[in-house]
């Protein structure tokens, strides 16, 4: 077969083939490859990654936290699947597997204006079996005496199944498992996607090499919209810059959960320091320059720190440390994942647009894609609500709890 990419016929010397080509080898791509093997797929898998040390991937630049506190049941189920993996980590990944899971909960605070949404979300979470306590300001202050509950009408606190972990270790476990499962790691940038007769036929790399493919999966994170466009497909996923700031404080609060202020600002302990972020102004929150990883220091100084000092008076005196910025894989339609094939190109699959919760949802989403490819149906979690059809129809399936 001759593969045409950008109108060029590829020299057969530069041509390889794989039954499944996955574009993007961070947590989502690695998880898809892992579960393809778990589901019994025996064909060849090429996992293509342009940044083999994952210096700029959302996976390694994330805040690495997991929660049950979503507004829709399907998102809770995706995260609960990961929680099951956390509980079973050593059986699945080996005795030395350790991702440093700190099960300290989330505390999501609501003002009077946000109370009914918090209550609605809490009911959804309880129905899914999540152990979340909904408490008023007095109870919250008794539980966390360091918290200023002024202007707080209620808070939802995760009693179990929520917390944070080490994103690098999490990714490394999957990558290591793939080495034993005969997955081809390809270093390169996918710059073209060939399509023929309504099917994806293969990908071209910027090096000039090409890989013929039976199935193509888009796991390109914040770059997923651009990768879809290479196949002539529209996907409303774009990079949105998110800064994370590290600071030291005199007081240590060992009981501190990941706290989310009604303003959207979050803070949590990270070892002996704290990390914080959130509250990017809606009006200026636009697609990021893919090369811009400069933290937004004015956001910290003018918005985040004053808000934190109001909510936790001990944080009036802190010592700011380093900071970093990463890109959310932001779905502009409804801030939710897009999982499944394109209706008009059935062998091109999306696993994109997680909008800030993809690290914790990657295993369930990866398994879902693997089940679809291998069995043709979802077996573990029904992800049809995340399908591309809603994108094509412009009908949002909206998640309200975006942090
Ligand atoms: C600051 C921040 C905080 C976050 N906090 C959390 C959190 O607490 N909990 C949570 O669950 N999620 C969080 N997220 C979101 C989470 O990190 C992402 O949803 C998740 O990592 C997406 O994984 P991915 O593998 O799809 O994307 P990525 O990790 O970005 O990986 C995509 C990979 O594709 C590669 N790629 C892209 N284009 C090409 C191409 N053309 N050719 C070859 N390779 C390509 C890239 O190099 C990249 O390595 C956060 C994100 C950020 C930025």
Ligand 1 atom 10, closest CA:
357
| Domain boundary, last residue among 310, 327, 344 | 327
Residues near ligand 1 (Cβ within 6 A): 23-24, 26-29, 48-51, 54, 57-59, 61-65, 189-190, 219-223, 227, 242, 244, 326-329, 354, 356-360, 362
Mark whether 146 and 109 lie in a shared domain: yes
| Domain boundary, last residue among 272, 303, 327 | 327
| Domain assignment present for 79 | no
* Separation of CA 188 and ligand 1 centre (Å): 17
Question: Which of 21, 46, 66, 358 most suits a substitution to test ligand 1, by most atoms within 8 Å of the C-beta?
Answer: 358
| Domain assignment present for 90 | no
User: Beta partners for 45?
Assistant: 20
Q: Residue 69: in which H helix or E strand, if any?
A: none
- Domain count within the chain: 2
The answer to whether the CB of 365 falls within 8 A of the CB of 28 is: yes
| Domain assignment present for 402 | no
Series of mean pLDDT values for 10-residue runs along the chain (403 residues) = 46 79 98 98 98 98 97 96 97 97 98 96 97 98 97 98 98 97 97 96 96 98 98 98 97 95 97 95 90 97 97 96 97 97 98 97 98 97 97 92 76
* Separation of CA 208 and ligand 1 centre (Å): 25
Mark whether 276 and 353 lie in a shared domain: no
Instruction: Return the pLDDT at 385.
Output: 97
Mark whether 13 and 29 lie in a shared domain: yes
Mark whether 260 and 154 lie in a shared domain: yes
* Separation of CA 136 and ligand 1 centre (Å): 36
* Separation of CA 372 and ligand 1 centre (Å): 22
The conformational region for residue 94 under phi > 0 = left, psi -120 to 50 = alpha, else beta, is left
Mark whether 209 and 271 lie in a shared domain: no
**Which of 201, 187, 186, 184 lies closest to 10 in space, CA to CA?**
201
Count of residues in the chain: 403
User: Beta partners for 373?
Assistant: none
Nearest-atom number in ligand 1 for the CA of 242 is 1
Contacts of 64 (CB under 8 A, 6+ apart): 164, 165, 166, 167, 170, 359
* Separation of CA 52 and ligand 1 centre (Å): 13
Instruction: Return the pLDDT at 4.
Output: 46
Q: How far is CA 372 from CA 27, 30, 116, 132, 383, in A?
A: 19, 16, 37, 32, 10
What φ, ψ does residue 135 adopt, rounded to 5°? Answer: -130, 155
Mark whether 14 and 135 lie in a shared domain: no
Instruction: Return the pLDDT at 399.
Output: 82
Instruction: Return the pLDDT at 1.
Output: 41
| Domain boundary, last residue among 307, 327, 347 | 327
Instruction: Return the pLDDT at 400.
Output: 82
Mark whether 195 and 157 lie in a shared domain: no
Integer Cα distance of 75 and 364 in angstroms: 10
Does pTM top 0.85 for this prediction?
A: yes
* Separation of CA 5 and ligand 1 centre (Å): 27
| Domain assignment present for 186 | yes
Mark whether 181 and 253 lie in a shared domain: no
Q: What is the CATH number of the domain that holds 281?
A: 3.30.9.10
| Domain assignment present for 148 | yes
Q: What is the CATH number of the domain that holds 385?
A: 3.50.50.60
Question: Which of 22, 27, 53, 58 most suits a substitution to test ligand 1, by most atoms within 8 Å of the C-beta?
Answer: 58
Mark whether 174 and 317 lie in a shared domain: no
Query: What residue numbers bound the domain in which 377 lies?
Result: 4-61+168-236+334-393
Nearest-atom number in ligand 1 for the CA of 328 is 53
Mark whether 121 and 155 lie in a shared domain: yes
Mark whether 155 and 244 lie in a shared domain: yes
Letter string b/e over residues 230-242, b meaning 16 or more CB atoms within 10 A of that residue's CB: bbebebbbbbbbb
* Separation of CA 192 and ligand 1 centre (Å): 21
Mark whether 247 and 296 lie in a shared domain: yes
Place of tokens 């997680």: 354
């Amino acid at each position: 077969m001759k593969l045409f990419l950008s109108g060029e016929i590829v020299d057969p010397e530069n041509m390889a083939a794989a039954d499944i080509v996955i574009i993007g080898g961070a947590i989502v791509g690695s998880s898809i490859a892992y579960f393809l093997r778990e589901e019994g797929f025996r064909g060849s898998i090429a996992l293509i990654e342009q940044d083999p040390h994952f210096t700029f991937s959302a996976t390694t630049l994330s805040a690495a936290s997991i929660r049950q506190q979503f507004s829709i049941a399907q998102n809770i189920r995706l995260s609960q699947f990961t929680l099951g993996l956390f509980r079973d980590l050593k059986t699945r990944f080996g005795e030395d597997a350790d991702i440093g899971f700190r099960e300290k909960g989330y505390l999501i605070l609501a003002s009077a204006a946000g109370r009914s949404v918090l209550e609605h979300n809490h009911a959804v979470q309880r129905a899914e079996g999540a152990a979340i306590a909904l408490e008023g300001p007095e109870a919250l202050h008794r539980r966390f005496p360091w918290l200023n509950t002024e202007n707080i009408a209620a808070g939802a606190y995760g009693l179990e199944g929520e917390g944070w972990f080490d994103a690098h270790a999490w990714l490394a476990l999957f990558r290591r498992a793939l080495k034993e499962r005969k997955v081809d790691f390809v270093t390169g940038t996918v710059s073209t996607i060939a399509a023929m007769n309504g099917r994806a036929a293969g990908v071209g790399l910027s090096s000039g090499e090409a890989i013929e493919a039976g199935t193509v999966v888009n796991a390109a994170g914040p770059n997923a919209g651009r990768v879809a466009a290479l196949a002539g497909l529209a996907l409303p996923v774009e990079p949105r810059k998110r800064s994370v700031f590290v600071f030291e404080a005199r007081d240590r609060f060992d009981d501190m959960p990941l706290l989310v202020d009604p303003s959207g600002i979050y803070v949590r302990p990270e070892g002996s320091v704290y990390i914080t972020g959130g509250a990017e102004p809606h009006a200026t929150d636009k697609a990021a320059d893919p090369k811009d990883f400069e933290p937004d220091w004015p956001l910290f100084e003018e918005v985040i720190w004053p808000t934190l000092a109001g909510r936790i008076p001990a944080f009036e005196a802190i010592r700011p440390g380093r900071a970093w910025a990463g890109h959310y894989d932001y779905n502009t339609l409804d801030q939710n994942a897009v999982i499944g094939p394109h209706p008009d190109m059935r062998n091109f699959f999306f696993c994109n647009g997680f909008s800030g919760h993809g690290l914790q949802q990657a295993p369930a989403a990866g398994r879902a894609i693997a089940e679809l490819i291998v069995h043709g149906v979802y077996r573990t979690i029904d992800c049809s609500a995340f399908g591309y059809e809603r994108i094509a129809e412009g009908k949002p399936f909206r998640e309200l709890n975006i942090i």
